[in-house]
Amino acid sequence: MDYIYLDNATITKLHKEVINKMITIIENKYALATSQFSHTMGLESKEAYEEARNIIARSIGAESENIIFTSGSTESNNLAIKGYAKASKGGNHLITTSVSERSVLNSMKTLKKEGFDITVLAVDSSGRIKPEELEKVINANTILISFELANHEVGTIENYRSIVNIAKKHNIAIHMDASYGYLEIPINVNELCVDLITLTAHRIHGPSGIGALYIKKGTDIKKLMDGGFNEMNLRAGNESIPLAVGFGRAVELFDKEMDVLHTAKLKKLLISQLNDKIKHISINGDPDNSLNNLLNVTFHKVEGESVALHFDMEGIEVITGSACFSKSLEPSYVLMALYNDHERAHGSITFSFSRYNTKNEILKTADVAKIIVDKLMEISPLKEKK
Amino acid sequence: MTLPYGKKLLEHFKHPHNVGVIKDADAKATEGSPACGDIVTLYLKVDEKTHKIKDIKFESYGCASNIATASVITDLVKGKTIEEAKAITWKKAADELGGLPPIKMHCSVLAVDTLRSAILNYEEIHGLIKDKKPTSRNEILDRIKHVMNPIRGEDIVKTGTVQDVIFEKGNVTVLLNLEEDNQFAANISEEIIEQLQSIWDIKKINIKFTI
């Protein structure tokens, strides 16, 4: 079956050129430089690795020495939050939001058990921090605010500049999880005063299993894993040269036309098609200011896992915020935080696009959506009775 | 392809049997809620003399397992007496579908519970119920056995997830061998409350995590 892959917010297909570059590295640059005075093969690998680091640094206006590689956004978030908290010599209060990614929320939970004071801020119905609420919870012991550049489930882009301004006014460090929105939303650390930024490769057609953490010069971080002195003594373990180089190449290949404008058109097309064909739908988050490749929709009165499974049986790959789909049997905590409405969460479907999707795929998806929703509505006890 | 569902389940999901509403139903019941993620409504037509189920239809707001178990239950009970229908277990429904993933066992419990509620509704309407008796601790335990351990696919009493149940003066306390931040803690708590809240002499339900 030819699949229509619309789960690009979870992970994207590798770019062919990324694969080719990684294969070259796997075949040729397998040696590791264990010291700066290592053998030649090791030093050659190191050179390719450092070049990748430099590409990623430049993509946010940073220097190479400010970037460390990790295994992905989960590790970057853990290291940023726990590492910063544990290195802190000042206060012990950290702030995040109720719609942050699980690796952020669970890092905060762990810190709470260890005695840190944690505030999880409620957000508005688009998923953004309310600045006045943030101001209220800041106190003399606040050391870090962690938020997402764009929400991982509904794609709402945070008012990040105003959050950064508030933090700086109070001399509080900022961790920005940019694992969603990286490259689509240009970030330059020379003009946006952020201390820690989480980046990842797998949503920009790079490989899975590699991410990065930007650490502003002078920011103290305590390492979480014991071992050697890799990654500026912050992340022990062998460097993965192929993954890092693949990450670097994916950043180089990012193309505004294909990765932003094309996906924006697909999203717009799907919204208008769904609105035309299906009666009871809601677009979740902030449709006017959200990621161009992510659309979260609720099909009311029908349940999301059934919708997603029907899509799958037609070769269309999507995910849902329904409890039946989740590993914890709980509905999407993001949608619950936004709307406090179980039905809205259970009936939600995330469609996410990439440069590889086409207009025809979107038209087919909308047609199939109409058939599925009609079928499930027919058996739904929530439908309007004739 | 490695979907977690068997062929028979998918067949019932794609083409559910006995779907719809019986307008002049002799009894009906709805179980579940949007909060728990699944809702099933069952309609019954019962022969007054023989107490045989002449017709049954269902509606479902739920996942594939939910739709399929409701569908298969309607097949299982059609033509049976209400006493025979009461004897159908969630395990029987799941087996009939060729098994369910452990995390989905609660769906077949919901379908069976709805059937039992519909039959109870029939019995109440037709004066087949005796007076309300005070609920015993064992009856509460029996209800809690309708909550599944999502990892094992067996009930939480059998899996030892329930440490103890205390029932005093309308207050039930359920002690769970779980950490409060266990992956399934919220789900299991909600399901226990869902099972117990309709019992007439229970006023308050407390869930405590002992680990």
Q: Which of B10, B16, B35 sits opposite A379 (nearest CB)?
A: B16
We report the CATH number of the domain holding residue A275 as 3.90.1150.10
More confident residue, B14 or A35: B14
Across the interface, do A327 and B183 touch by the CB < 8 Å criterion? yes
Mean pLDDT for chain B overall: 88
Across the interface, do B62 and A109 touch by the CB < 8 Å criterion? no
In chain B, the residue whose alpha carbon lies closest to the alpha carbon of A331 is B37
Instruction: Tell me: pLDDT of B42 over 80.
Output: yes
Instruction: Tell me: pLDDT of A386 over 60.
Output: no
Which residues of chain B have a CB within 8 Å of the CB of A385? 21
**A6 lies in some domain:** no
Q: Which of B14, B59, B63 sits opposite A324 (nearest CB)?
A: B63
AA identity, residue A46: K
Secondary structure (3-state) at A256: helix
pLDDT tens-digit profile of A3-31? 999 999 999 999 999 999 999 999 999 99
Percentage of chain A surpassing pLDDT 90?
92
**What 8-state DSSP symbol labels residue B31?**
E
State how far the Cα of B131 lies from the Cα of A51, in Å rounded to an integer: 81
Which residues of chain A have a CB within 8 Å of the CB of B40? 381
The pLDDT assigned to B123 comes to: 87
In chain A, the residue whose alpha carbon lies closest to the alpha carbon of B58 is A379
**A273 lies in some domain:** yes
Considering A207, A237, A253, which residue would you say is the last residue of a domain? A253
Instruction: Tell me: pLDDT of A226 over 80.
Output: yes
Which residues of chain A have a CB within 8 Å of the CB of B18? none
Q: Are residues A173 and A199 in the same domain?
A: yes
pLDDT tens-digit profile of A116-170? 999 999 999 999 999 999 999 999 999 999 999 999 999 999 999 999 999 999 9
In chain A, the residue whose alpha carbon lies closest to the alpha carbon of B14 is A310
Q: List, by residue range, all CATH 3.30.300.130 domains of chain B.
A: 137-209
Across the interface, do A303 and B63 touch by the CB < 8 Å criterion? yes
Q: Count interface pairs A-B at CB distance under 8 A.
A: 80
Across the interface, do B184 and A303 touch by the CB < 8 Å criterion? no
Q: A150-172 as b/e, with b when 16 or more CB fall inside 10 Å? A: bbbbbbbbbbbeebbebbeeeeb
The pLDDT assigned to A323 comes to: 77
CB atoms within 10 A of CB A124: 13
Question: In the predicted model, what is the mean pLDDT of residues B73-102?
Answer: 90
Which residues of chain A have a CB within 8 Å of the CB of B34? 342-343, 346, 382
Which residues of chain A have a CB within 8 Å of the CB of B100? none
Tokens standing for residue A24:
């070259």
Q: Are residues A330 and A370 in the same domain?
A: yes
Question: In the predicted model, what is the mean pLDDT of residues A288-292?
Answer: 95
Across the interface, do A301 and B65 touch by the CB < 8 Å criterion? no
**A10 lies in some domain:** no
Q: Which of A312, A323, A385 sits opposite B37 (nearest CB)?
A: A323
The pLDDT assigned to B2 comes to: 62
Closest CA to B5 of A317, A371, A305, A5: A305
More confident residue, B53 or A322: B53
SS3 readout for A180-214: CCECCECCCCCCCCCCEEEEECCCCCCCCCCEEEE
The pLDDT assigned to A385 comes to: 60
Chain centroid to Cα A29, Å, comes to 30
CA distances from A51 to A44, A240, A248, A300 (A): 11, 13, 8, 49
**A228 lies in some domain:** yes
State how far the Cα of A362 lies from the Cα of A358, in Å rounded to an integer: 7
State how far the Cα of A161 lies from the Cα of A187, in Å rounded to an integer: 11
Q: Are residues A322 and A232 in the same domain?
A: no
* Distance to chain A for B75, nearest Cα, Å: 16
Across the interface, do B33 and A342 touch by the CB < 8 Å criterion? yes
Of A94-103, B123-132, B175-184, the least confident: B123-132
Q: Are residues A292 and A266 in the same domain?
A: yes
Are B182 and B169 contacting, i.e. CB atoms less than 8 angstroms apart? no
Find all residues with CB under 8 Å of B130, minimum gap 6, and list them: none
Task: Please report which confidence band the pLDDT of residue A353 belongs to, taking 50, 70 and 90 as the band edges.
Answer: very high
The pLDDT assigned to B43 comes to: 95
Q: Are residues A37 and A148 in the same domain?
A: yes
Question: In the predicted model, what is the mean pLDDT of residues A68-87?
Answer: 98
Q: By the CB < 8 Å criterion, does B66 face chain A?
A: yes
State how far the Cα of B42 lies from the Cα of B39, in Å rounded to an integer: 10
Domain count, chain A: 2
Q: Which of B37, B103, B150 sits opposite A346 (nearest CB)?
A: B37
Q: List, by residue range, all CATH 3.90.1010.10 domains of chain B.
A: 7-125
Q: Are residues A261 and A239 in the same domain?
A: no
State how far the Cα of A128 lies from the Cα of A162, in Å rounded to an integer: 11
Instruction: Tell me: pLDDT of B96 over 60.
Output: yes
- B107 an active-site residue? yes
Instruction: Tell me: pLDDT of B194 over 90.
Output: no
Q: Are residues A238 and A329 in the same domain?
A: no
More confident residue, A239 or B91: A239
Which of A112, A306, A314 is the mutation pick for testing B, counting most B CBs within 10 A?
Answer: A306
Q: By the CB < 8 Å criterion, does A371 face chain B?
A: no
Closest CA to A71 of A279, A260, A287, A240: A240
Return the bridge partners of B107, or none.
none
Find all residues with CB under 8 Å of A374, minimum gap 6, and list them: none
Question: In the predicted model, what is the mean pLDDT of residues A344-357?
Answer: 96
Across the interface, do B37 and A303 touch by the CB < 8 Å criterion? yes
Q: Which of B17, B19, B30, B36 is catalytic?
A: B36
**A300 lies in some domain:** yes
The pLDDT assigned to B151 comes to: 82
DSSP calls for A116-184: -EEEEE-B-TTS-B-HHHHHHH--TTEEEEEEESB-TTT-BBP-HHHHHHHHHHTT-EEEEE-TTTBTT
Q: Are residues A79 and A206 in the same domain?
A: yes
Across the interface, do B39 and A381 touch by the CB < 8 Å criterion? yes
Which CATH number is B7-125's, of 3.50.50.60, 3.90.1010.10, 3.60.15.10, 3.10.20.30? 3.90.1010.10
Of A51-55, A312-316, B1-5, B169-173, the least confident: B1-5
Which residues of chain A have a CB within 8 Å of the CB of B150? 329
Q: Are residues A281 and A215 in the same domain?
A: no
State how far the Cα of A12 lies from the Cα of A356, in Å rounded to an integer: 9
Q: Which of B40, B42, B68, B107 is catalytic?
A: B107
More confident residue, A342 or B4: A342
Across the interface, do A322 and B16 touch by the CB < 8 Å criterion? no
Which residues of chain B have a CB within 8 Å of the CB of A342? 33-35, 37
State how far the Cα of B67 lies from the Cα of B16, in Å rounded to an integer: 7
Question: In the predicted model, what is the mean pLDDT of residues B47-75?
Answer: 94
Instruction: Tell me: pLDDT of A70 over 60.
Output: yes
The pLDDT assigned to A326 comes to: 75
Considering A199, A233, A253, which residue would you say is the last residue of a domain? A253
From first CA to last CA, the distance across chain B in angstroms is 39
Across the interface, do B67 and A306 touch by the CB < 8 Å criterion? yes
State how far the Cα of A277 lies from the Cα of A279, in Å rounded to an integer: 7
Question: In the predicted model, what is the mean pLDDT of residues A224-243?
Answer: 93
* Distance to chain A for B84, nearest Cα, Å: 26
Q: Which of B34, B40, B64 sits opposite A306 (nearest CB)?
A: B64
Considering A222, A253, A284, which residue would you say is the last residue of a domain? A253
Q: Are residues A21 and A39 in the same domain?
A: yes
Q: By the CB < 8 Å criterion, does A314 face chain B?
A: no
CATH T-level assignment (fold) for domain B137-209:
GMP Synthetase; Chain A, domain 3 (3.30.300)
**What 8-state DSSP symbol labels residue A103?**
H
State how far the Cα of B44 lies from the Cα of B25, in Å rounded to an integer: 5
Geometric angle at alpha carbon A171, from A166 and A176, rounded to 5°: 60
Closest CA to A78 of A189, A217, A196: A196
Q: Which of B39, B62, B150 sits opposite A306 (nearest CB)?
A: B62
**A229 lies in some domain:** yes
Percentage of chain B surpassing pLDDT 90?
42
State how far the Cα of B60 lies from the Cα of B74, in Å rounded to an integer: 12
Question: In the predicted model, what is the mean pLDDT of residues B22-27?
Answer: 92
Query: 152-171 in A: which are within 8 Å (CB) of B?
Result: none
Q: Are residues A201 and A74 in the same domain?
A: yes
Chain centroid to Cα B134, Å, comes to 22
Q: Are residues A65 and A202 in the same domain?
A: yes
Its domain, for residue A102, covers: 16-253
Task: Please report which confidence band the pLDDT of residue B202 belongs to, taking 50, 70 and 90 as the band edges.
Answer: confident
Calculate helix-pair angle for A241-253, A16-28, nearest 10 degrees.
Answer: 150
**A3 lies in some domain:** no
The pLDDT assigned to B184 comes to: 86
Instruction: Tell me: pLDDT of B171 over 70.
Output: yes
Which residues of chain A have a CB within 8 Å of the CB of B16? 379
More confident residue, B198 or B109: B109
Instruction: Tell me: pLDDT of B144 over 70.
Output: yes
In chain A, the residue whose alpha carbon lies closest to the alpha carbon of B32 is A381
Instruction: Tell me: pLDDT of B1 over 60.
Output: no
State how far the Cα of A50 lies from the Cα of A57, in Å rounded to an integer: 10
Q: By the CB < 8 Å criterion, does B64 face chain A?
A: yes
